[in-house]
Amino acid sequence: MQPDSPAGIPGQSQEPLSDDLIDFASEVFDVARRGDAAMLDTLLHKGLPPNLRNDKGDTLVMLASYHGHADAVRVLLEHKADPDLRNDNGQTPIAGAAFKGYKPVIEALLAHGADVEGASPDGRTALMIAAMFNRVEMVEFLISKGANPDAKDANGFTARDAAAKMGAPDTAARLAQATEAKATEAKSRPPGV
């Protein structure tokens, strides 16, 4: 299969694709990478599947998210693209945006129902990824949207552990504050509430 060829289009057979169709699909994936929201809107209105995937399982939403194009992400989601579809590595669009530090993209994803945890198969959440790369604003934002600072990945590490391991002191400190605040709040609640 050629790079960026479409895969997994619901309702379509897996017949060999023509070179023209493969070239067209490649151009569509480039439109998502460039964040051309108007062109995506036009293509989607003409019947482009909103959850089209390339040969790595990346959806149009994944590509637009990873490249920081909030308007393109919004257009795709308004056309019913799934905000949580994982690529072949199990990565979610929210995790890609957290890695790159694209808050407007994460806002668009969450506004359209994306899972704030967005854990990969190894249990690593978007919060953990933001923490690892010392993205304090992103960590604060994700916590404010319900991300669990005490969630653990498959190895038992929290976002704070990941930040400390990666040498990200600012996010490690912010996560320590979040954990302390959560513990204080739990102690002040009456039993059974």
Q: How far is CA 20 from CA 25, 27, 76, in A?
A: 9, 11, 24
124-158 residue pLDDT tens: 999 999 999 999 999 999 999 999 999 999 999 99
Residue 13 lies in a domain: no
Q: Are residues 85 and 100 in the same domain?
A: yes
Q: Are residues 145 and 165 in the same domain?
A: yes
Rounded distance between C-alpha atoms, residue 178 and residue 66, angstroms:
27
Question: Is it the case that residue 164 has pLDDT exceeding 80?
Answer: yes
For every residue of 94-156, DSSP letters joined together read HHHHHHHT-HHHHHHHHHTT--SS---TT---HHHHHHHTT-HHHHHHHHHTT--TT---TTS
Report yes or no: 168 and 131 within 8 Å, Cβ to Cβ.
yes
Task: Report helix, strand or coil for 30.
Answer: helix
Q: Are residues 91 and 168 in the same domain?
A: no
Residue 74 lies in a domain: yes
Q: Which domain holds residue 30?
A: 23-115
Q: Are residues 122 and 178 in the same domain?
A: yes
Q: Are residues 61 and 111 in the same domain?
A: yes
- State how many domains the chain has: 2
Angle at CA 179, nearest 5°, toward 178 and 182? 85
Q: Are residues 87 and 158 in the same domain?
A: no
The structure tokens listed for 71 are 């308007």
Q: Are residues 58 and 96 in the same domain?
A: yes
Q: How far is CA 161 from CA 74, 92, 112, in A?
A: 33, 21, 30
DSSP state of 184: H
Q: Are residues 46 and 130 in the same domain?
A: no
Q: Are residues 157 and 100 in the same domain?
A: no
Q: How many other CB atoms are there within 10 angstroms of residue 21's CB atom?
A: 12
Indicate which CATH number applies to the domain containing 157: 1.25.40.20
Q: Mean pLDDT, the chain, as a whole number?
A: 89
Residues 35-53 have a mean pLDDT of 96
Residues 161-190 have a mean pLDDT of 88
* Of 115, 141, 170, the domain-final residue: 115
Q: Are residues 143 and 181 in the same domain?
A: yes
pTM of the model: 0.84
pLDDT band at 160 (very low <50, low <70, confident <90, very high): very high
Residue 4 lies in a domain: no
Say what the pLDDT of residue 13 is: 54
Say what the pLDDT of residue 20 is: 80
pLDDT band at 21 (very low <50, low <70, confident <90, very high): confident
- For the chain, the distance separating the N- and C-terminal CA atoms, rounded to the nearest angstrom, is 56
